[in-house]
Amino acid sequence: MESLTHDLKDKLAVGNGVPESQRTKDAASGAGPEGKKAPVNGAQDAEGDAENDDDDDDEAEVEVEGDATATKSASKKKKKKKNNKKKKKVQTEPPTIPMSVLFPSKIYPQGEICDYKEDNLWRVTDEEKRALEKKNFDDYNDARRAAEVHRQVRGYARRNIKPGMTMIEICEMIENGTRTLVEANGFESGIGFPTGCSLNHVAAHYTPNAGDKTVIQYGDVCKIDFGVHVNGRIIDSAFTLTFDPVYDNLIAAVKDATNTGVREAGIDVRLGDIGAAIQEVMESYEVEIGGKTFPVKPIRNLTGHSIDRYKIHGTKAVPIVNNGDPTKMEEGDYYAIETFGSTGRGIVRYDMETSHYGRAYDIPKTPIRLPRARALFETINREFGTLPFCRRYLDRVGEEKYLLALNSLCDSGHISGYPPLVDIKGSFTAQSEHTFVLRPTCKEILSRGDDY
Check whether 305 is labelled as a binding-site residue: yes
Check whether 150 is labelled as a binding-site residue: no
Q: Active-site residue numbers?
A: 225, 236, 305, 313, 338, 433
Q: DSSP letter for 187, please.
A: T
Taking a C-beta distance cutoff of 8 angstroms, is the pair 173, 309 a contact? no
Long-range contacts from 9-16, C-beta under 8 angstroms, 24+ separation: 9/313, 9/315, 9/317, 10/313, 10/315, 10/361, 11/108, 11/109, 11/110, 11/111, 11/140, 11/141, 11/143, 11/144, 11/145, 11/146, 11/147, 11/148, 11/444, 11/446, 12/88, 14/67, 14/70, 14/71
φ, ψ for residue 240, nearest 5 deg: -110, 130
Contacts of 1 (CB under 8 A, 6+ apart): 192, 193, 196, 204, 225, 227, 236, 238, 312, 313, 336, 388
What one-character-per-residue DSSP string does 374-391 give? HHHHHHHHHHTTTS-EEH
Contacts of 268 (CB under 8 A, 6+ apart): 119, 120, 328, 329, 330
Q: Tell me the H-state helices in 195-289.
A: 248-264, 271-282
Q: Which of 12, 54, 46, 11 is nearest to 29 (CA)?
A: 54
Give the containing element (helix H, strand E) for 137: helix 137-160
Check whether 338 is labelled as a binding-site residue: yes
Check whether 58 is labelled as a binding-site residue: no
Contacts of 69 (CB under 8 A, 6+ apart): none
Q: Which of 205, 299, 259, 251 is nearest to 445 (CA)?
A: 259
Give the Cα separation of 254 and 248 in Å (integer).
10
Check whether 313 is labelled as a binding-site residue: yes
Q: List binding-site positions.
A: 205, 225, 236, 305, 313, 338, 433
Q: List binding-site positions for a divalent metal cation.
A: 225, 236, 305, 338, 433
